Amino acid sequence: MTENEWIFRVVDSFYQKAKTDILIGYHFRVIKDFDEHIPRIATFWELQLLGKSSRPIHEPFDVMRLHPAMGIKRGELGRWLVLFRKSLDHETLLHPEMKHLQEAWEERLTFFEGVFLRFLGL
């Protein structure tokens, strides 16, 4: 398994959990095309973790412009992190050779948590 394939698996695993979650699922059920959205988010994480993407980028990522309109609450951000880390842990158990990426991803999650808390005023 390549790093890019593993990143895609983590992202896909997270979205499978998130869109049916009782607390945050409503944020994800408004996404119209998961076949387009999931690869785009996997590309975002490839850039964060690997510094390059396996897919072409058609529009820039501007996560801080898109998320305020969602009205995310502090507890929802916390739930997002719990579900994401569950997906990350599960996929690392299946592919322990990706442990180095899990550690890097944990650092990025902590970074983005701080950014979101400050930017969204949570």
pTM over 0.85: yes
**Structure token digits, residue 60:** 């820039």
Distance from C-alpha of 8 to C-alpha of 1, rounded to nearest angstrom: 11
Give the domain extent around 86.
Answer: 3-119
State the DSSP string of 28-59.
Answer: HTT-S-HHHHHHHHHHHHHHHHHSS-SS--SS
pLDDT digits (tens, 9 = 90+) for 66-80: 666 677 888 899 999
The better pLDDT of the pair 121, 5 is held by 5
Nearest Cα residue to 3 out of 111, 102, 109, 110: 102
pLDDT digits (tens, 9 = 90+) for 73-115: 888 999 999 999 999 999 999 999 999 999 999 999 999 899 8
- pLDDT average, residue stretch 30-37: 88
Distance from C-alpha of 99 to C-alpha of 24, rounded to nearest angstrom: 27
78: CATH = 1.10.490.10
Task: Say yes or no to pLDDT of 39 above 80.
Answer: yes
Give the count of domains, the chain.
Answer: 1
